[in-house]
Structure 1
Amino acid sequence: MKSLKKMVLSALLATTMLSSVGFNVHAQETTTGSITEDTHIANEERANDEAYSEEAITSNDGIEFDDEGNITAVTIGGETAEVTQENPANPETPVNNSPNRITTNLTDDPSTSMHFQWHTTDSDENAKLYIWEEGQSMDDAIEVDPEIIEIDDAFYNQMTEDGHYVYAIMWDEEENKPITDDDDPWIATENPDEVVGYYTDEVFSDDNLLWLDKGFDNYSLGLPYPSFTETAYKATATELNPNTVYHYTVGNKDGELSDEATFTTASESSDDFSFIHYTDTQNAFSSENQRSEADYSNSTIQSMLENPNAEDAHFALHTGDVVNDDWNDTEWNLTLDALLPLNNEMPHMFITGNHDNDNFLDHINTDNAVEGMDSGAAYSTRYNGVQFINLNTEQANESDEDEAPAILDNQMEWFEEELQKAQEAKDNGDIDWVFVSYHRPLFSSSYHSLEDESVQLIRDDLMALLDEYDVDLVFNGHDHNLTVTHALTHNAENFGNAEVATAGESIEDVTTFNNPEGTVFFIPSTAGTKTYNTIYKLESFDWILENEDIHETYEDLFGHELTEENINSFRELLLTEEQPFISSFYAEGHSNARESNFQHYSVVDVTSDTVTYELYQVVGEDLDNRETTLVHTYEITK
């Protein structure tokens, strides 16, 4: 196996450590035996163990047949599951009429209104949002009637009575191999006569990296219950009082209600506040019974709630990919349940990602400012003197063109109008900052930022607008690594279409930008378990040419031959390029096996003249014994 480069611990271990149990402040430097250091060492040992290489763990994989040609077993990641001709699933489709998948989302004026959404299986025409001010009780609640929407084609993976997922094997006679294309996720359910065998996940263990990496789709298909209809409820509370704590519950007070939850409305004008930034929970369902991805996200949520530096956060910004498969309601349930403790304490500002865009509007109640947009949502909100503008980078899905930009003309026109209004508000002293959020980044230390065709097709125009209208900060996701740029301005002649206008100045674990010209871009890695390596930093140019398709993207789109100088000049734009999780799967590609035990989030403090971006990591394999560490602080002053 190709040897993996050793990560430098000193850049990743924090100066301030906070225990996930009780969240006590510990010593000023990491000590030997700390959870973070022990976890890092264990990860490094496994990454360099040939037994965990992708080649080794797949060496005995395959399908077994009996003398009559029937499939009897399937081996995935070296572990063998029995294949049966009878479907072992519980035939009853799931029913949940307790309010579930509850989310709140900021409106265009969060000082006086708030969006809510929840779901049940069966429709309840008497369901309501009940909301009341701090100091009152539910007896004083205002009742808000929701819009009730039928959601067709609810997708839930079939399970056995004891909770194991069931998978179906279908055979492609022409290709003489299993059908593994899940472009139609219903194919196995709708064609039961063509299913040649079933198996469950019961045999697979929590250290089977191939299984954790959705290994079922090498030989089989997910098996959903037959399609049925669920119910979504969308409610908006209006005429709220600014800077006021509210309590709420949803459902039917004569039937089932959600737990009581709370949020605080924004102030009417500029006021200090803080928020949480996290991204790419992107939890896949298939490893729930081995090493649940949703549980690691929930652990990260618990860290946020126990972090004393986040206790005054007003809302959470999630920059896309709530789930891995947007059509899969099993995943929406698992993930939104994992996020619920945070949602019960504060609203969200959800951004559309490439993994959740098709069903984003089915699950999130949000404004959508671009008429006719059905690939996600674009909207803006003003919060305590900050104009937030949120873009949808999945609009290529709306185009008939083979090669389309991530943001189409109608959204770009709306974006420029919002920037113009924000600039006027800034000039008039009505706001202090302009923040923009979108999922797919222009700048990252992993492959997406240069390989995604839709991003390259919007790169120059988007960077030009960010520069022209003096956007202060951009918040991204998508590339599952820690990336922070210097303050950048537009330069169409440079590779990457940007140049460093103001370099961040770093002393130990603090970086400052003093009255910077340009925009600073942030990716806080991931709050899930799927990570990407910092390939531009750690891998050779020859490795990039061999293992990635960036050169093909630039050749196909622009007739440009990618050079090592291009990569080096692109890296000059990046201030932080880190991936503290080490995986054996990085030897042959950018992605791990969805087995990360390092999760990240940030706490962002905002005043009229300073933004402080504190980056935290949550570390540990044992979910009952994890450690939260302040990794780095970025301070932007003006």
Structure 2
Amino acid sequence: MLADDGTPQEVHGYFTDEQLDRSNTEWTSAGSDLGFLELHEVTEHTNKATATGLEPGTEYFFEVGCEEEGFSEVGSFRTSAADSEEFSFIHYTDTQNTYWNANVNNEAAYGANTLELARETAPKALFALHTGDFVETAAVEDEWVDNLDLSQKSNLRLPHAYTPGNHDEYRLRYQDGKSLESFNNHTNVPITNDAVTGGSYYSFDHSGAHFVILNTNDNKASEDNPEQGAIGQKQMKWAKQDIAQARENGANWVVLAYHKPVYSASYHALQDEDVQVTREDFVQLADELGVDVVMQGHDHNLTRTKSLVYTPDNFAYGAVEDTEKKTIDGVEHHVNPDGVTYVIPNTSGTKAYAAIYQKGADHVAKVRPKLDWMDEADTDY
């Protein structure tokens, strides 16, 4: 945009591979209609169904649609085994397709392709676990539609457990507040608590394993959460009771899933203030209740920690466990570790973050000034 004297004053743009120069850039005066996004409110309907009375270990087939407008292709899924049984599932995260970049990178198609490749790699997977940031801007309906439409081939063959991410409650403008119900409007997941806050938390069992899905959008100031931690006191209490009950019921594995990481190869885990408030309580909970693996998102960088146990003696509240190891087919395995392994499966979308700690403390301080307190020993840790 131009000031009254003709001086360029403001730029509105979007992500693109094209280089800007005078031949493809147009400056306009303030108030011009060019470059403005016009939004229209429309009424949308969501249809949900719950199937009951299903038999364990059984394959079911279904169609979605109506007589007037027709039906989808036939989909299928296999129910959990009645008892403990070996199974596989797919963990992916941060599809995060953007409406403003669809004309360049078609990000929803990129995420759909990631899921299809995952299915080819794990053809016997019984379901998929998505750890948040399904879309870039929750209030933009087209992002949900693009993602769901282009992933329909996989979705018809693969039930999903969804985890709310911070982008799954975003509106177009920060000052407009949060779209607190968008995640639950577009997913069919249980609502365990009495207040939907950018998503919900819940749990389920599958073939002897217990999965706990938490909501790190809990970070609104309230009596329950005065420090605005990623997980409030009520949710933390629920998680403790739920995991303890699962162990009492004989769960062989406990898998914890949430969006914002407490450990990662990139910067969010140590920079996001709502995570810092929650970290110690959360790591202690996972360790003391015997969680086996934690599946995270948010930081768009492949991360897998060593087996960690809780300690109050360092800034990360985690110490590396000395475990028995066994190498099978070139892969090192931890044998019955007592600690917890934290994982981020990179990203299934187009946006990636750098593994900044591998480049030393000076680099970290340069690119993330809020982390200038870290020294080389911290980044090595």
Normalising by structure 2, what TM-score?
0.87
Q: Which stretch has the larger CA shift, 369-378 or 359-368? A: 369-378
Residue 511 of structure 1 deviates from its aligned partner by 2.3
Residue 366 of structure 1 deviates from its aligned partner by 0.7
User: How do 1:204-353 and structure 2 match up within 5 A?
Assistant: 222-224=37-39, 226-307=40-121, 310-353=122-165
Residue 305 of structure 1 deviates from its aligned partner by 3.1
Q: Which deviations, in whole Å up to 9, do the C-alpha atoms of 1:419-473 show, x marking residues without a partner?
A: 11022123xxxx2111110111111110000001111101110111111111111
Residue 324 of structure 1 aligns with an amino acid whose one-letter code is E
**Counterpart for residue 374 of structure 2:** 563
User: How do 1:61-100 and structure 2 match up within 5 A?
Assistant: 63=1, 77-79=19-21, 80-82=24-26
Residue 69 of structure 1 deviates from its aligned partner by 9.7
Q: Which deviations, in whole Å up to 9, do the C-alpha atoms of 1:334-391 show, x marking residues without a partner?
A: 1122322211101001111111133101111110212223321100000000011111
Partner Cα separation in structure 2 for residue 329 and residue 536 of structure 1: 37
Contact 1:74 1:83 in 2 (8 A): no
Partner Cα separation in structure 1 for residue 194 and residue 322 of structure 2: 37
Q: Which deviations, in whole Å up to 9, do the C-alpha atoms of 1:51-74 show, x marking residues without a partner?
A: xxxxxxxxxxxx468999999x98
**Counterpart for residue 418 of structure 1:** 242
Give SS of 1:247's match.
Answer: strand
Residue 492 of structure 1 deviates from its aligned partner by 1.0
Tell me which of 541, 544, 547 is aligned to 2:364: 544
**Counterpart for residue 479 of structure 1:** 299
Go from structure 1 to structure 2 and tell me whether the alpha carbon gap of 1:240 and 1:531 turns closer, same or farther (over 3 Å shift): same
Partner Cα separation in structure 2 for residue 413 and residue 281 of structure 1: 30
Partner Cα separation in structure 2 for residue 70 and residue 465 of structure 1: 54
Go from structure 1 to structure 2 and tell me whether the alpha carbon gap of 1:196 and 1:503 turns closer, same or farther (over 3 Å shift): farther
Partner Cα separation in structure 2 for residue 549 and residue 265 of structure 1: 49
Residue 271 of structure 1 deviates from its aligned partner by 1.2
Normalising by structure 1, what TM-score?
0.53
Partner Cα separation in structure 1 for residue 82 and residue 369 of structure 2: 48
Residue 259 of structure 1 deviates from its aligned partner by 2.4
Residue 41 of structure 2 aligns with an amino acid whose one-letter code is S
Contact 2:133 2:168 in 1 (8 A): yes
Residue 342 of structure 2 aligns with an amino acid whose one-letter code is F
Contact 1:506 1:512 in 2 (8 A): yes
**Counterpart for residue 333 of structure 2:** 512
Tell me which of 519, 533, 547 is aligned to 2:354: 533
Corresponding position: 1:489 with 2:309: yes
Partner Cα separation in structure 2 for residue 283 and residue 434 of structure 1: 30
Partner Cα separation in structure 2 for residue 413 and residue 229 of structure 1: 37
Contact 1:296 1:528 in 2 (8 A): yes
Contact 1:450 1:550 in 2 (8 A): no
**Counterpart for residue 366 of structure 1:** 189
Q: Which deviations, in whole Å up to 9, do the C-alpha atoms of 1:108-163 show, x marking residues without a partner?
A: xxxxxxxxxxxxxxxxxxxxxxxxxxxxxxxxxxxxxxxxxxxxxxxxxxxxxxxx
Tell me which of 320, 343, 346 is aligned to 1:522: 343
Go from structure 1 to structure 2 and tell me whether the alpha carbon gap of 1:64 and 1:230 turns closer, same or farther (over 3 Å shift): same
Residue 266 of structure 2 aligns with an amino acid whose one-letter code is S
Q: Which deviations, in whole Å up to 9, do the C-alpha atoms of 1:235-259 show, x marking residues without a partner?
A: 1111112111111122212433222
Go from structure 1 to structure 2 and tell me whether the alpha carbon gap of 1:247 and 1:196 turns closer, same or farther (over 3 Å shift): same
Residue 404 of structure 1 aligns with an amino acid whose one-letter code is Q
Contact 1:242 1:267 in 2 (8 A): yes
Residue 565 of structure 1 deviates from its aligned partner by 5.1
Partner Cα separation in structure 1 for residue 98 and residue 294 of structure 2: 27
**Counterpart for residue 406 of structure 1:** 230
Contact 1:375 1:397 in 2 (8 A): no
**Counterpart for residue 32 of structure 2:** 196
Alignment RMSD, CA only? Answer: 2.7
**Counterpart for residue 385 of structure 1:** 208
Residue 548 of structure 1 deviates from its aligned partner by 1.1
Go from structure 1 to structure 2 and tell me whether the alpha carbon gap of 1:323 and 1:75 turns closer, same or farther (over 3 Å shift): closer
Go from structure 1 to structure 2 and tell me whether the alpha carbon gap of 1:419 and 1:290 turns closer, same or farther (over 3 Å shift): same
Contact 1:488 1:502 in 2 (8 A): no
Contact 1:479 1:532 in 2 (8 A): yes
Contact 1:386 1:434 in 2 (8 A): yes
Partner Cα separation in structure 2 for residue 347 and residue 398 of structure 1: 34
Go from structure 1 to structure 2 and tell me whether the alpha carbon gap of 1:531 and 1:402 turns closer, same or farther (over 3 Å shift): farther
Contact 2:326 2:335 in 1 (8 A): no
Give SS of 1:530's match.
Answer: coil
Go from structure 1 to structure 2 and tell me whether the alpha carbon gap of 1:504 and 1:294 turns closer, same or farther (over 3 Å shift): farther
**Counterpart for residue 433 of structure 1:** 253
Structure 1 alignment gaps of length 5 or more: 1-62, 85-168, 172-194, 200-220, 553-561, 573-638
Partner Cα separation in structure 2 for residue 398 and residue 346 of structure 1: 37
More strand by share: 1
Greater C-alpha Rg:
1
Tell me which of 244, 268, 276 is aligned to 1:448: 268
Contact 2:2 2:27 in 1 (8 A): no
Contact 2:326 2:334 in 1 (8 A): no
Go from structure 1 to structure 2 and tell me whether the alpha carbon gap of 1:299 and 1:456 turns closer, same or farther (over 3 Å shift): same
Give SS of 2:94's match.
Answer: coil
